[in-house]
Amino acid sequence: MIRQSEGLTSRFDWPLFIAGVLIALMGVVNLYSATSVYQGVVAERYISQLYWLLGAGVVGAALCAFDYRHIERGAYIAYAVGIFMLLIVFVLARDVRGSARWIEFGSFRFQPSEFTKVMLIVALAKYLHDDPKNEGRSLRDLAMPAAITAVPAILILRQPDLGTAMVHVFIFLTIAAVTKVSGKSILLFTGTAIIAAYVAYHFVLLDYQRARIEVFLNPEADLLGRGWHAHHARVAIGNGELLGNGYLKGMQNQFLFLPDQATDFPFPVFAEEWGFVGALVLIGLYLFLCLWSIRVASQARDRFGAILCVGVTAMIFWHAVINIGMTCGLLPVVGVTLPLFSYGGSSVSTAMLGLAMVMSVSMRRNMVRPERF
C-alpha cells in the first residue's frame, strides 16, 4: 500500500489533465464571446462557468485521490440514486421549452440526465466486471446490461430528451462493442435495431423530434422554421473559413443568428471566430482525450477500470461527435452538449466527474504491461 500511494503523485496523468483543462479554458473564452452580445446575467455566464469548473475540479481531485474500487462497491447504489433523481424530475421539474429536464433547489438547478450517464457507466462496469466471459457473448448475455441502460434511457426519452437518451444507448453500445460479442449476435442485434428504430420513429418519437429529423434530411425545406438553427449554424461555421473572423468578431454570432450559443451551439461560435485551424485544434484535443482514455482503459488493472474508461470515453466521444455533427449538418439537431466546452453546470460537472474517474484508473493502472493498444 505504501508503494502504491508513493506512486500516486508520480503517476498523475498530465496529458489527460492538460487536454481536459485546455478544452475547458477554450470553452470559457468562447463562452465570453458567445454571450458578449447580451447584457446582464447572460453576459456573466462565463464567470459562473469558471466557478463550476473549479468546483467540479475540486470534487474531481478528491475523486481521483480515492481508489476507484470504492466506487465499484457503491455502483448499484449510485445507479439507483440516478434513477430516483430521474423520477423526481417528473414531480419537481420545471418546464424549459416544452421539456422537463431540471431539478431546482432555490436558485440552484441541475439536470439529472447528465449525471445518470456516469451512473450508468459505473453500473455497466460493475456488471461486466462481475460477469467475465472468454467465449463469445450471446445477446442473452447482454440482456441485463441492456436493461440497465433501458431504464434511464426510457425515462429520459419521456422527458422528452431524445439526444441524451441516445447518448445513454450509445454508451451501452460502445461498452458492448468492447466485449466479445459473437458475430451471430451482432447480426441479430443490427436487425433488431433497424426494426426498433423504425418503430421508434413512428410511434415513440414526439412530433418535434420527428420534425427535427425531417429537417435534417431535407434542411432547405424549412429555412425559417425548424431549419433555422441548423442552417445558420452551418453558415456560421463556413463563414469562419480558414482562419476565422477573429475573436469577438463572429458575424453570425454577433448578429444573433445562432441559437443557444452558450449551451448547444458553442461550436459554430468557435469555428466562426477561429476558423478551420481553430476547429482542428479543438477536435484534435477531443481526439487526443478519447484515444488517451482508451489507452488508459487498455492498461487498467481490472475489468471495472477498463469498462469505466471505455464508458467515459464513449460519453465524451458521442457527445462531441453528435454536438459538432449536428452543428455542421451531419446529424439532426438534438439537445446534446459539447463536453467541458458547453456552458452548463451539470454538463461540465458530469464531464469532469467522468474524466476524474479515468484519471483515477490511470493513476492506478497496470505498469507491468504498458501495452500499446
Partner 1 sequence: MNLSYQRSDTSEFRKRFRWIALFMTLGFFAIVGRLFQLQILEGEENHAIAVENIVKHVTLATTRGRIVDRDGVILADSRESYNLYAVPGRLDMALTWPKIADYLGLQQKERVRLEEKLTKIRDDKDDPRREQQILLKEDIGWSANVILQEQAADLPGVSVVSVQVRYYPSGVAGAHVLGYMGEVSAEVLPKLRAAGYIEGDRLGVAGTERAWESYLRGTRGREKVLVDARGRRRQDPGGIIEDADRRIDPIPGRDLRLTIDAELQIAIHQAFKSELAGGVAVVEVKTGRIIGLYSKPSFDPAALSGSFGRSALTDAFRRLYSDPLKPAVDKTVSGSYPPGSTFKPFTALAALEKGLVNPRQAIQCRGFLKVGRKNYGCTHVHGATALHRAIAQSCNVYFWQLVNESQVGMDVIAQMGQAFGFGQKTGLGINAEASGRMPTRAWMTYRNKGRYLTGFAMNAAIGQGATTVSVLQLALAYGVVANGGTLYQPQLVRAVETSNATVVQEFSPRVRRRLDLDPENVKLVQKALVAGVNEEGGTAFRARIEGVDVAGKTGTAQVGHKLVRGIEAERVWYFNRDHAWFSGYAPSAAPEVAIVVLVEHGGAGGKHAAPIAFEIIRAYNEINGKAGAKPRDAPRSSARPGEPAPAGPRGRQGSP
Residues with Cβ < 8 Å from 167, sequence gap 6 or more? Answer: 117, 315, 318, 319, 322, 336
Q: Is 181 helix (H, G, I), strand (E, B) or coil?
A: strand
Q: Looking at beta carbons only, is 63 or 300 nearer to partner 1?
A: 300
Smallest distance, Å, CB 93 to partner 1? 25
Q: Looking at beta carbons only, is 55 or 329 nearer to partner 1?
A: 329
Question: How far from chain centre, in Å, is Cα 272?
Answer: 23
| Long-range contacts formed by 58-64: CB under 8 A, 24+ apart | 59/349, 59/352, 59/353, 59/356, 60/352, 60/353, 60/355, 60/356, 60/359, 61/356, 63/353, 63/356, 63/357, 63/360, 64/356, 64/357, 64/359, 64/360, 64/363
Q: Cα separation of 119 and 274, whole Å?
A: 35
Closest CA to 123 of 80, 179, 169, 66: 80
* DSSP 8-state symbol, 11: T
Interacting positions 32-71 with partner 1 (CB under 8 A): 69
Question: For partner 1, which stretch binds (CB under 8 A), given 98-106, 139-147, 153-161, 282-290?
Answer: 282-290
Q: Looking at beta carbons only, is 11 or 158 nearer to partner 1?
A: 11
Question: For partner 1, which stretch binds (CB under 8 A), given 24-32, 176-184, 203-211, 341-349?
Answer: 176-184
Is residue 242 within the footprint of partner 1 (CB under 8 A)? yes
Is residue 169 within the footprint of partner 1 (CB under 8 A)? no
Is residue 367 within the footprint of partner 1 (CB under 8 A)? yes
- Angle at CA of residue 76, ends 312 and 357, nearest 5°: 30
Question: For partner 1, which stretch binds (CB under 8 A), given 19-27, 208-216, 295-303, 355-363?
Answer: 295-303
Q: Cα separation of 310 and 178, whole Å?
A: 8
Torsions phi, psi of 103, nearest 5? -115, 135
Burial 283-298 (b: 16+ CB within 10 A, else e): eebbebbbebbbbbbb
Answer yes or no: are the C-beta atoms of 239 and 274 closer than 8 Å.
Answer: no
Q: Looking at beta carbons only, is 29 or 283 nearer to partner 1?
A: 283
Smallest distance, Å, CB 15 to partner 1? 15
Q: Looking at beta carbons only, is 88 or 291 nearer to partner 1?
A: 291
Question: For partner 1, which stretch binds (CB under 8 A), given 9-17, 84-92, 204-212, 248-256?
Answer: 248-256
Count the residues of the shown chain that bind partner 1, applying the rule CB under 8 A.
63
Is residue 275 within the footprint of partner 1 (CB under 8 A)? yes
Other beta carbons less than 10 A from residue 148's beta carbon: 20
Question: For partner 1, which stretch binds (CB under 8 A), given 19-27, 191-199, 277-285, 344-352?
Answer: 277-285
Is residue 279 within the footprint of partner 1 (CB under 8 A)? yes
Is residue 290 within the footprint of partner 1 (CB under 8 A)? yes
Residues with Cβ < 8 Å from 252, sequence gap 6 or more? Answer: 232, 235, 236, 239, 258, 268, 272
Is residue 157 within the footprint of partner 1 (CB under 8 A)? no
Is residue 300 within the footprint of partner 1 (CB under 8 A)? yes
Interacting positions 179-238 with partner 1 (CB under 8 A): 179-180, 224, 232, 234-238
Residue from 35, 49, 185, 252 touching partner 1 (CB under 8 A): that is: 252
Interacting positions 100-129 with partner 1 (CB under 8 A): 129
Is residue 362 within the footprint of partner 1 (CB under 8 A)? no
Q: Hey, what amino acid is at 310?
A: V
HSE at residue 355, side-chain half, CA atoms within 13 A, is: 34
Q: Which residues bind partner 1 (CB under 8 A)?
A: 69, 129, 132-134, 174, 177-180, 224, 232, 234-242, 249, 251-252, 254-257, 271, 275-276, 279-280, 283, 286-287, 290-291, 294, 297-298, 300-304, 306-307, 310, 313, 317, 320-321, 324-325, 328-330, 366-368, 371, 373
